[in-house]
């Protein structure tokens, strides 16, 4: 006899013989669970619109090539970005409220390097369409616009007045932050994609803007900000005085600028830090002179920290008044400043006190900000003081002209430039295809206030499964932190200071594969399903099952009573309750 045998013909007592599956308890509910894909805070604030949670998921499983391809959907330069981006994503990481932020940039750098080491390539069909787009300026914005337009099937020609493409990435960033072979490796991929490079051609001089306007269906301007703001004091023509852009350009071209042994660097931004750190590498003493205090410095804290490690001195609340010396610099007269009211940037304004003092130096670098050379802009674009007027997507008042990078009103960083190049590429593609921006606007796919577009969401073709995408942002309170152990993050290692000062060797060391995997696995993957199985295990109705057609789970609405346990127990906020009508 079998113990399961319920076929009792003459039961001694009442015996249940029917499965409860006939009892459709799903009719009881007033709210139903929904699997959604929310935007994580890191993704939301990424100016380049990368799907960070997506590639962390793939890296955690060792799927490096897929991770690389996922980044390449949005950003053509992961190896560059992993090095030079100031990773504001890590400041927004939900993990900071748990233990330490995930070291996103180091994972990205590893993936970028993996792509370079394995010569991964993006294949694109030949130009499908006869329309051609001109890109002026081969900096991060222009190259990104070219990359995306080429992937969208447009023919692209890129003009640049310098001898090599890269813009500020090549001529502005010292190689201890971004080695040149990484830059060359990432840019060479564009060459192979069929982007036509017209190098050492200055638009406005060798080619006229009008001829571009006539020859091309659309033009993207990403000419950057190459004019150093003048300090506005006398004696700036003395020997030993450089401006930051000239100085860094000379360094990046391998020239040895003739500076002294004691350098005063004027300014508080990242260029000032770069100049001071380069000066240290040239064997000079460097002092950064900034008119506000450290808290107001626009330079990134990590950069300031590394400059300090390398022996850069800081002099705050001081502003240059006069330069001593006959032909060469022999000192600077500084005025003491005090902090006053808040200004428009939300920082306290420096107020002169009238009190002066002198510092001794035999070289000076001014790094107080860069602006666009107004003369380089086409005559028909409207701009205000070198900032080109453009809409959210980069379209200027001259409709076939689009702008991006440092010439529009965005922060002057590589990452923002990449984001603006991508936005403009989307806008140009839509412009060429005659899609009006009002209808079906890409706004609905933008993340955050910066208007970042994630193309995979826009097209619905992410390599990482994204079902039911929503623009809601997940914060720590939407997660169930119980399911995550507290694990300290892997710290970035830097080479010793004496090694650094010997030359232009890269300062931060790469993570090992184990470290990268452990960091990627620390990622909460906020807002996206990783098939952890909690919803399924905790469902008292047994109504959540694996999706037979693919990724994730489905809830059987015939039996779901709408208790919402699955939503509460989802570790990463990838579910929500929806009230039923």
Long-range CB contacts for residues 126-129, cutoff 8 Å, separation at least 24: 126/194, 127/153, 127/154, 127/155, 127/194, 128/153, 129/153, 129/154, 129/155, 129/432
Using rule CB under 8 A, residue 12 touches other proteins: no
Nearer to other proteins, 199 or 486 (CB): 486
The least CB distance from residue 89 to other proteins, in Å, is 17
Using rule CB under 8 A, residue 100 touches other proteins: no
Using rule CB under 8 A, residue 571 touches other proteins: yes
Give the closest residue to 145 by CA, choosing from 349, 361, 426, 552: 426
Distance from the first to the final alpha carbon of the chain: 51
Using rule CB under 8 A, residue 580 touches other proteins: no
Using rule CB under 8 A, residue 541 touches other proteins: yes
In sequence order, what are the beta bridge partners of 160? 199
- Contact predicate 451/392, CB 8 Å: yes
Nearer to other proteins, 363 or 571 (CB): 571
Q: Token pair 């233990």 is at which residue?
A: 99
Using rule CB under 8 A, residue 24 touches other proteins: yes
Using rule CB under 8 A, residue 22 touches other proteins: yes
User: Between the CA atoms of 494, 495, 497 and 502, what dihedral angle is there, to the nearest 10 degrees?
Assistant: -140
Any alpha helices (H) in 232-357, and if so which ranges? 244-252, 270-281, 301-309
Rg of the chain on CA atoms, in Å? 28
The least CB distance from residue 353 to other proteins, in Å, is 52
Q: Which of 4, 237, 345, 444 binds other proteins (CB under 8 A)?
A: 4
Q: Which of 66, 100, 294, 531 binds other proteins (CB under 8 A)?
A: 531
Q: Give how far the C-alpha of residue 52 lies from the chain's centroid of Cα atoms, to the nearest Å.
A: 10
Q: CB-based burial of residue 387 (10 Å sphere; 0-12 exposed, 13-18 middle, 19+ buried)? A: middle
Q: From CA 478, how far away is CA 526, in angstroms rounded? A: 9
Residue 497 CA: distances (Å) to CA of 126, 173, 307, 311, 380: 49, 19, 10, 9, 50
Using rule CB under 8 A, residue 25 touches other proteins: yes
Using rule CB under 8 A, residue 466 touches other proteins: no
Q: Which of 49, 60, 137, 394 binds other proteins (CB under 8 A)?
A: 60
Phi and psi at residue 352, to the nearest 5°:
-65, 145
The least CB distance from residue 527 to other proteins, in Å, is 14
- Region near other proteins per CB under 8 A, out of 162-170, 310-318, 441-449, 564-572: 564-572
Using rule CB under 8 A, residue 282 touches other proteins: no
Q: Which of 485, 498, 514, 581 binds other proteins (CB under 8 A)?
A: 485
Q: Which pair of structure tokens corresponds to residue 259?
A: 């500076």
* Residue list 198-257, contact with other proteins (CB under 8 A): none
Sign of the C-alpha dihedral computed for residues 34, 40, 44 and 48 taken in this order: negative
Using rule CB under 8 A, residue 1 touches other proteins: yes
For residues 373 to 402, the per-residue mask of contacts with other proteins, x marking binding by CB under 8 A and - elsewhere, is ------------------------------
Using rule CB under 8 A, residue 28 touches other proteins: yes
Q: Give how far the C-alpha of residue 223 lies from the chain's centroid of Cα atoms, to the nearest Å.
A: 19
Using rule CB under 8 A, residue 533 touches other proteins: yes
Q: Which of 483, 499, 502, 512 binds other proteins (CB under 8 A)?
A: 483
Nearer to other proteins, 357 or 483 (CB): 483
Binding-residue total with other proteins (CB under 8 A):
56
Using rule CB under 8 A, residue 482 touches other proteins: yes
Nearer to other proteins, 86 or 464 (CB): 464
Q: From CA 18, how far away is CA 93, in angstroms rounded? A: 51
- Region near other proteins per CB under 8 A, out of 257-265, 347-355, 392-400, 551-559: 551-559
- Contact predicate 496/510, CB 8 Å: no
- Region near other proteins per CB under 8 A, out of 46-54, 293-301, 460-468, 517-525: 517-525
Nearer to other proteins, 380 or 551 (CB): 551
- Contact predicate 114/64, CB 8 Å: yes
Q: From CA 83, how far away is CA 88, in angstroms rounded? A: 13
**DSSP string covering 351-374, please?**
EEEEEEEEE--SEEEE-S-EE--G
Using rule CB under 8 A, residue 258 touches other proteins: no
Q: CB-based burial of residue 120 (10 Å sphere; 0-12 exposed, 13-18 middle, 19+ buried)? A: middle
Using rule CB under 8 A, residue 523 touches other proteins: yes
- Contact predicate 76/189, CB 8 Å: yes
- Region near other proteins per CB under 8 A, out of 134-142, 146-154, 256-264, 540-548: 540-548
- Region near other proteins per CB under 8 A, out of 169-177, 180-188, 344-352, 554-562: 554-562
- Region near other proteins per CB under 8 A, out of 42-50, 77-85, 124-132, 528-536: 528-536
Using rule CB under 8 A, residue 522 touches other proteins: yes
Q: Which of 7, 10, 12, 16 binds other proteins (CB under 8 A)?
A: 16
Q: Which of 69, 348, 392, 521 binds other proteins (CB under 8 A)?
A: 521
Using rule CB under 8 A, residue 279 touches other proteins: no
Q: Token pair 């073709």 is at which residue?
A: 461
Q: From CA 420, how far away is CA 383, in angstroms rounded? A: 17
Q: Which of 534, 552, 573, 576 binds other proteins (CB under 8 A)?
A: 534
Using rule CB under 8 A, residue 511 touches other proteins: no
Nearer to other proteins, 432 or 490 (CB): 490
At 130 the three-state DSSP class reads coil
Q: From CA 422, how far away is CA 404, in angstroms rounded? A: 9
Using rule CB under 8 A, residue 477 touches other proteins: no
- Region near other proteins per CB under 8 A, out of 257-265, 282-290, 300-308, 483-491: 483-491
Binding site residues, other proteins, CB under 8 A: 1, 3-4, 6, 14-25, 28-29, 57, 60-61, 482-486, 521-525, 530-534, 537-543, 556, 558-559, 561-565, 567-569, 571, 577
């Amino acid at each position: 006899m079998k113990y399961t045998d319920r076929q009792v013909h003459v039961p001694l007592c009442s015996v249940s013989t029917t499965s409860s599956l006939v009892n459709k308890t799903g009719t009881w509910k007033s709210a139903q669970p929904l699997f959604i894909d929310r935007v994580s805070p890191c993704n939301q604030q990424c100016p380049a619109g990368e799907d960070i949670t997506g590639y962390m998921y793939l890296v955690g499983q060792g799927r490096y090539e897929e991770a690389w391809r996922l980044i390449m959907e949005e950003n053509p330069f992961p190896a560059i970005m992993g090095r030079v981006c100031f990773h504001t994503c890590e400041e927004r990481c939900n993990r900071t409220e748990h233990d330490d932020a995930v070291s996103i940039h180091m994972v990205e750098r590893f993936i970028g390097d993996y792509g370079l080491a394995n010569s991964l390539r993006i294949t694109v069909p030949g130009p499908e369409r006869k329309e051609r787009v001109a890109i002026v300026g081969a900096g991060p914005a222009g190259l990104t616009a070219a990359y995306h337009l080429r992937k969208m099937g447009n023919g692209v020609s890129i003009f640049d007045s310098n001898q090599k493409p890269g813009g500020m990435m090549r001529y502005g960033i010292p190689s201890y932050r971004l080695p040149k072979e990484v830059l060359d490796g990432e840019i060479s991929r564009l060459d192979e994609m069929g982007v036509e490079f017209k190098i050492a051609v200055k638009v406005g001089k060798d080619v006229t803007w009008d001829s571009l306007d006539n020859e091309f269906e659309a033009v993207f301007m990403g000419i950057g900000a190459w004019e150093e703001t003048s300090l506005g004091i006398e004696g700036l023509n003395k020997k030993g005085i450089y401006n930051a852009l000239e100085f860094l350009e000379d360094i990046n071209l391998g020239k040895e600028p003739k500076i002294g042994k004691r350098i005063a660097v004027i300014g508080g931004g990242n260029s000032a830090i770069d100049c001071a750190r380069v000066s240290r590498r040239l064997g000079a003493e460097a002092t950064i002179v900034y008119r506000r205090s450290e808290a107001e410095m626009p330079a990134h804290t990590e950069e300031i920290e590394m400059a300090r490690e390398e022996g850069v001195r800081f002099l705050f609340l001081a502003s240059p008044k006069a330069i001593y010396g006959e032909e060469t610099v022999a000192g600077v007269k500084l005025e003491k400043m005090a902090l006053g009211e808040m200004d428009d940037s939300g920082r306290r304004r420096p107020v002169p006190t009238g009190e002066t003092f002198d510092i001794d130096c035999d070289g000076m670098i001014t790094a107080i900000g860069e602006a666009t050379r107004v003369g380089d802009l086409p005559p028909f674009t409207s701009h205000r003081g070198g900032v080109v007027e453009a809409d959210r997507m980069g379209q200027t008042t001259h409709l076939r002209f689009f702008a991006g990078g440092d010439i529009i009103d965005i922060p002057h960083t590589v990452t923002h430039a990449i984001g603006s190049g991508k936005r403009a590429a989307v806008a140009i593609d839509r412009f060429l295809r005659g899609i009006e921006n009002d209808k079906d606007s890409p706004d609905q796919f933008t993340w955050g206030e910066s208007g970042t577009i994630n193309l995979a969401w826009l097209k619905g073709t992410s390599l990482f499964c994204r079902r039911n995408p929503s623009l809601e942002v997940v914060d720590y309170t939407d997660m169930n932190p119980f399911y995550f152990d507290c694990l300290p993050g892997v710290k970035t290692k830097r080479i010793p200071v004496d090694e650094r000062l010997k030359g232009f060797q890269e300062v931060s060391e790469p993570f090992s594969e184990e470290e990268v995997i452990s960091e990627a696995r620390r990622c909460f993957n906020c807002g996206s399903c990783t098939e952890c199985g909690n919803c399924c295990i905790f469902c008292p109705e047994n109504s959540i099952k694996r999706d037979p057609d693919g990724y994730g789970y489905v809830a059987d609405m015939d039996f779901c009573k709408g208790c919402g346990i699955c939503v509460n127990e989802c570790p990463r906020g990838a579910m929500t309750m929806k009230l039923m009508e």
